[in-house]
Amino acid sequence: MSKTVFEKIADGEIPGNIVYEDDICIAFMDAFPLSKGHTLVVPRKPIENIYDLDEETGAHLMKIITKVANAVKDAFEPAGLNVIQNNGSFASQSVYHIHFHLVPRYENEYDGFGYQWNQDPNERSDEEKKEIEQMLKDKLDV
């Protein structure tokens, strides 16, 4: 199986603006940033998406995401920051190696990020909400 671009960056086969690395993950500047400081945090081992992410690697990634997010905040003082992680082509995943985007957001500055949150127009009855809740609990063994 061929390596993803993220594996190639982690292995030093192609250049990347690396801001952090350890044995488990690497953080580097996005090659096509949406804003100043846009950084990716990626595990070194090939993991396609969140469904395949083991708890230990996930916990370490979150620790480093927090560390890098604070570095971005301290370095650039953005008005906010989005942490984005996509799974599958329908959810806009384009590199099939799990990665987390840290996108600083600046007031009065174009950042190419057209993020919007539109509430589901389907109103759900209390009964339907309870059914959904139970379906998830059943899968979580709660």
Contact 45, 22 (CB under 8 A): no
Contact 34, 105 (CB under 8 A): no
Contact 98, 49 (CB under 8 A): yes
- Tell me whether residue 38 is one of the annotated catalytic residues: no
**Active-site annotation holder among 38, 97, 99, 101:** 99
Residue 97: DSSP 8-state: S
Distance CA 25, CA 138 (A): 33
Continuous segment of H or E residues that includes residue 42: strand 39-43
Q: Which residues belong to the active site?
A: 99
